[in-house]
């Protein structure tokens, strides 16, 4: 018996500002749409995993059940930084693969419109003019980065500048051109938070957030949700031919964290755990990066996209600048990256992003992406990373039927 796992139904809401909806409203919209997309109902689900980072202790899964169907199934409430959605999906995949059930639902949802730049707040500050070691973040290890910031814009600014220092060619203008590409792609995505093309001058002369990332080069905080129905191979074979035709094979589902190294006690190493996840995913799927028809990677900042070209092995080590300069990552290039517009345009409602990236890949593999369709797409990779750190990589393949 095959132990293949499939995505049967998947949907995302429009990302953006939804002042009239709360998290449960958005999660319900995505979940019910994913069930309908798969041609199934909550009665068919054997497990539910729900992610919501900003309300991690609120039991979003149980709240969601009250809206879409309380059937007594196990519920997992998931929080794993920006990898929350991918982790929720992986939780369901593991349950189905283990044989605990033959079908399950994963949901990610977040309300972030107007939240401002994330990552720097939430901890008590002292008015004292002298430093006294106290607590995990003071007595055990510094968390303030190499140049004085542990906020995400600062961390990823450092990551990009470090890559440029090591390999050369990573100029302010080059990072801005990556953002220009993603905003151009967004104009074909009706579900993106922002579907607006920016000129290079507009991007470079906008408000500087953390050099070299200006405001348009940063992910857009917004509201949104995404959901996916997972099904076993044996169960899929009992469903209709149309359901089988639209199902997307999960060839690899991988989650990694930082391996120990001295440097990552000071600044998260977003490179090593991504490369480890990608290496494992390619091995599990039995393919290489050259086989990918499109990639949705975690471009929380323009600097992040550049380094992840390298981390996902879309180019030779140190060759990310040349990869971008070749035009490969544009929609009509050899390896289209972030055809959705990426986090910079599509938006980044944290817990929803991991599933939304997978929705974009599935959309193309089904041939349902409309004006932004990558012709003949058969294999895609979705990647997310959350500081802390956690990295999720999924490789997806079109059904042979």
> Which helix H or strand E contains 23, and what residues bound it?
helix 23-38
pLDDT value for 152: 83
Q: CA dihedral in degrees (287, 291, 293, 298; nearest 10)?
A: 60
pLDDT value for 113: 84
pLDDT value for 130: 66
pLDDT value for 237: 96
In the chain, what percentage of residues exceed pLDDT 90? 81
**pLDDT band at 268; cut points 50, 70, 90:** confident
Q: What is the per-residue pLDDT across 309-340, written as a single tens digit (0 to 9) for each?
A: 999 999 999 999 999 999 999 999 999 999 99
Strand 103-110 to 224-232 pairing: antiparallel
Per-residue pLDDT at 32 exceeds 60: yes
In the chain, what percentage of residues exceed pLDDT 70? 90
Residues sharing a CB contact under 8 Å with residue 295, sequence separation 6 or more, in sequence order: 312, 314, 335, 336, 337, 338, 380, 381, 382, 383
Q: How many C-beta neighbours within 10 Å does residue 128 have?
A: 7
Per-residue pLDDT at 124 exceeds 50: no
Q: Give one DSSP letter per residue of 312-363, joined into a string.
A: TTSSSTT-HHHHHHTTTTSTTSSS-B-TT-HHHHT---HHHHHHHHHHHHHH
In 3D space, the residue among 100, 199, 119, 116 whose CA is nearest the CA of residue 158 turns out to be 119
Q: What is the per-residue pLDDT across 202-252, written as a single tens digit (0 to 9) for each?
A: 999 999 999 999 999 999 889 999 999 999 999 999 999 999 999 999 999
Per-residue pLDDT at 117 exceeds 70: no
Three-state DSSP class for residue 44: helix
Q: What is the mean pLDDT of residues 263-277?
A: 86
pLDDT value for 128: 60
Q: What is the mean pLDDT of residues 5-13?
A: 98
**Mean pLDDT across the chain, nearest whole number?**
91
Give the residue range(s) of CATH 3.40.47.10 domains in the chain.
5-116+222-251, 152-217+252-398
For residue 159, what are its two tokens?
Answer: 């990551």
**pLDDT band at 141; cut points 50, 70, 90:** very low
pLDDT value for 131: 55
Q: What is the per-residue pLDDT across 281-307, written as a single tens digit (0 to 9) for each?
A: 999 999 999 999 999 999 999 999 999
Three-state DSSP class for residue 380: strand
Q: Please identify which residue in the block is written with the tokens 């003071």.
A: 138
41 to 7, 31, 278: CA distances (angstroms): 15, 10, 33
Q: What is the per-residue pLDDT across 154-197, written as a single tens digit (0 to 9) for each?
A: 889 989 999 999 999 999 999 999 999 999 999 999 999 999 99
Q: CA dihedral in degrees (344, 292, 49, 71; nearest 10)?
A: 120
Per-residue pLDDT at 261 exceeds 90: no
Question: Residue 354 and residue 277: Cα distance in Å, rounded?
Answer: 15
pLDDT value for 344: 96
**pLDDT band at 121; cut points 50, 70, 90:** very low
pLDDT value for 119: 41
In 3D space, the residue among 390, 332, 340 whose CA is nearest the CA of residue 195 turns out to be 340
Residues sharing a CB contact under 8 Å with residue 232, sequence separation 6 or more, in sequence order: 3, 4, 5, 6, 96, 97, 102, 103
CATH superfamily of 5-116+222-251: Thiolase/Chalcone synthase (3.40.47.10)
CATH no. of 152-217+252-398: 3.40.47.10
Q: What is the per-residue pLDDT across 43-84, written as a single tens digit (0 to 9) for each?
A: 999 999 999 998 877 899 999 999 999 999 999 999 999 999
In terms of residues, how long is the chain? 401
């Amino acid at each position: 018996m095959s132990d293949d796992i499939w995505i049967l139904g998947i949907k995302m809401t429009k990302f953006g500002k939804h002042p009239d909806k709360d998290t449960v409203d958005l999660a319900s919209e995505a979940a019910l749409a994913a069930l309908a997309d798969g041609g199934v109902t909550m009665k068919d689900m054997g497990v539910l995993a729900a992610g919501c980072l900003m309300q991690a202790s609120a039991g979003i899964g149980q709240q969601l059940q009250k809206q879409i169907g309380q059937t007594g199934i196990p519920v997992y409430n998931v929080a794993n930084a920006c990898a929350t959605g991918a982790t929720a999906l992986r939780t369901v995949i593991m349950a189905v693969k283990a044989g605990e059930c033959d079908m399950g639902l994963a949901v990610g949802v977040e309300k972030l419109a107007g939240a401002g730049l994330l990552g720097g707040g939430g901890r008590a500050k002292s008015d004292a003019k002298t430093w006294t070691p106290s607590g995990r973040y003071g007595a055990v290890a510094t968390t303030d980065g190499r140049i004085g910031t542990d906020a995400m814009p600062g961390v990823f600014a450092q990551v990009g500048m470090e890559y440029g220092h090591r390999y050369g060619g990573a100029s302010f203008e080059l990072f801005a051109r990556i953002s220009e590409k993603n905003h151009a792609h967004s104009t074909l995505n009706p579900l993106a938070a922002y579907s607006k093309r920016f000129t290079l001058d507009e991007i470079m002369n906008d408000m500087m957030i953390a050099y070299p990332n200006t405001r348009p080069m940063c992910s857009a905080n917004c509201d949104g949700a995404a959901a996916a129905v997972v099904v076993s191979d044996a169960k899929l074979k009992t469903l209709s031919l149309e359901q089988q035709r639209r199902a997307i094979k999960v060839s690899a589902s991988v989650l990694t964290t930082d391996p120990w190294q001295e440097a990552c006690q000071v600044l998260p190493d977003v490179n090593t755990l991504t490369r480890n996840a990608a290496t494992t995913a390619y091995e599990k799927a039995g393919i290489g990066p050259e086989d990918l028809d499109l990639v949705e990677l975690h471009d929380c900042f323009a600097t992040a996209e550049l380094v992840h070209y390298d981390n996902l092995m879309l180019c030779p080590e140190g060759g990310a600048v040349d990869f971008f300069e070749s035009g490969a990552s544009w929609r009509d290039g050899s390896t289209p990256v972030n055809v959705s517009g990426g986090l910079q345009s599509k938006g980044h409602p944290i817990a929803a992003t991991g599933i939304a990236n997978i929705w974009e890949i599935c959309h193309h593999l089904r041939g349902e992406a409309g004006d932004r369709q990558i012709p003949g797409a058969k294999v895609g990779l979705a990647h997310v990373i959350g500081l802390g750190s956690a990295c999720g990589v999924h490789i997806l393949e079109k059904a042979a039927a």
